[in-house]
Amino acid sequence: MLVYLSLGADQGLLEVIEHRAARGFCVGFAQLRFLIRQAAIVSSNRPVTPTFPDRSFVQRWSKRHSGSITLRKARVLKGFLAEASTAEAVHYYYDNLEATLDSLKLRDRPSQI
């Protein structure tokens, strides 16, 4: 069996997905495929084929981590994202952004944002 992802890369992928999910961002199938490919390019001891990962690899990887992540259809998620993107939520985000930029003194240092 070819091993394309090291244990560290595998764990890193889960952390990225969980980080995005905690902030309300889902990872679609194409994005997950891209993330797996980039992790394999960086961590694999073998050359990564142009077609890696294929659909079955992504599905197996997702199933292996079904205790941590779940796959959902994009059309279902679009409804939830639309519900969460209210005017109040957007204003709350930007109000907190302003306060955070001021508290961390980052207004004059955009390269550190």
Q: Are 5 and 40 in contact (CB under 8 A)?
A: yes
Rounded to an integer, the average pLDDT of 16-44 is 87
Q: What is the pLDDT of residue 20?
A: 85
Measure CA of the first residue to CA of the last residue in the chain; give whole Å: 42
Q: Is 110 exposed, middle or buried (0-12, 13-18, 19+ CB in 10 A)?
A: exposed
Q: Which two tokens stand for residue 38?
A: 């980039």
Q: What is the pLDDT of residues 82-107, one digit of tens each?
A: 777 788 888 888 888 888 888 888 87
What's the whole-model pTM score? Answer: 0.61
Q: Are 27 and 70 in contact (CB under 8 A)?
A: no
Rounded to an integer, the average pLDDT of 31-36 is 93
Q: What is the pLDDT of residues 43-95, one digit of tens each?
A: 888 888 999 999 999 999 999 998 888 776 655 666 667 777 788 888 888 88
